[in-house]
Amino acid sequence: MPTSVQIRPLQHVSAAEALAWHQVVAASTAHDLPGVPTPDPGQIHAQLTGPALGSHRLTWLATGADGTPVGVAALRVFTSPGQDHLAELELHVDPAHRRLGTGSLLLEAAVAACRAENRRSLITTAPADGPGEAFSTRRGFRRAMTLDHLMLRPDELDRADLLLLADAEHPGYRLTGWTGTVPDALADAFAAAKNAMNDMPVGDLDYGSVAWDADRVRAMAEVVAARGDTLLTIAAVHDDGTMAGYTEILLPQGSGPRAQQYDTAVVPEHRGHGLGLWVKAAMVRRLGAEHPGVVEIETDNADDNVHMLAVNHRLGFRSYRRTREFQLDVPTT
């Protein structure tokens, strides 16, 4: 273990500490995921200091003898019923300082925090077949799920085909959309639809489940807005007022060229009518009209989520990388 490395918990992340954090994450991402954009220091500061939905966050910064930042770790400790056994770890070490024990020291701090918080499961994500996967496996994590990351470039789509999908007739259903917080008249219906995510395939991951209500969906939108991001939603509403399905897109602070797909779900009793493809096609059309600077949309699906993978491939998403979710049973002593 490197005696010259100091692991320091961050109580209140300053702008300078966010800059140090960014330095490590940028170097790690460029090495492990070339081409994947890194949040800027302002975005990282907002992510580390803003509110977190159904959780709280613990953070550590590792520095060398000269004060250079060499590693970071963030632990999201879930607090909602149904997930209060769980914590999620993000850990980065600057490639120039790897294999010197820094990652192990950061992981030890995170595992100790899990024990102190009475969390029995720790999950983390790493690029498939990369150094993060090897690190996780050596330290007792088991592979729980593989995620297929897909990219859509709207300017490469057949415009006529997109309009055909977005304008398809779905008798008994209508489309509606909003930016940010769901309108009050739709809040309860949206919360009910959100609960459809609880049967999403998650491999062997012990992710638990979340009960959504109107207050929680409002709080989620407030968390996104507080860190400077924009959340777009399109939903399919049945004639009886039930929200049958929806899709969400996140535009990171600054409206860069890449949007992130958030949830897409169809309520079980409304499946089999093509609603997932409908709302996603309508969202791509909306992005083109309202946010023409977006040239890429990234999404991910568990590799056993064959239905949503088929929907995304039909729309024009193409696989471009894979990550894996790992889970550690936290030792009690």
Query: Within 10 A of 99 (CB to CB), how many other CB atoms are there?
Result: 10
Residue 111 has pLDDT above 90, yes or no: yes
Tell me the average pLDDT of the chain: 94
Beta bridge mates, 76: 57, 88
* 293 burial level (CB within 10 Å; 0-12, 13-18, 19+): exposed
Q: Report the predicted TM-score, pTM, of the whole model to 2 decimal places.
A: 0.92
Q: Is the pLDDT of residue 4 over 80?
A: yes
pLDDT(332) > 80: no
Q: What is the pLDDT of residue 143?
A: 96
Assess whether pLDDT exceeds 90 at residue 254.
no
Q: Which burial class, exposed, middle or buried, applies to 232 when counting CB atoms under 10 A from its CB (0-12, 13-18, 19+)? A: buried
User: What pLDDT is recorded for position 2?
Assistant: 52
Question: Is the predicted pLDDT of residue 327 greater than 80, yes or no?
Answer: yes
pLDDT at 333 over 80: no
Does residue 40 register a pLDDT over 90?
A: no
The pLDDT value given to residue 63: 97
pLDDT at 109: 98
Per-residue pLDDT, 101: 95
Between residues 35 and 247, the one the model is more confident about: 247
What is the arithmetic mean of pLDDT over 164-179? 97
Q: Is the pLDDT of residue 3 over 60?
A: no
Q: Name every residue whose Cβ is closer than 8 Å to that of residue 162 and which is 6 or more positions away in sequence.
A: 154, 281, 284, 285
Q: Return the DSSP state at 36.
A: P
For 152-178, the DSSP string reads E-GGGS-HHHHHHHHT---TTEEEEEE
Q: What percent of the chain has pLDDT over 90?
A: 86
Measured CA to CA, the distance from residue 170 to residue 275 in angstroms comes to: 8
- The answer to whether residue 255 scores a pLDDT higher than 80 is no
In the chain the domains, ranked by start, together with CATH numbers, are 6-119 (3.40.630.30), 150-322 (3.40.630.30)
Query: Tens of pLDDT along 267-286?
Result: 999 999 999 999 999 999 99
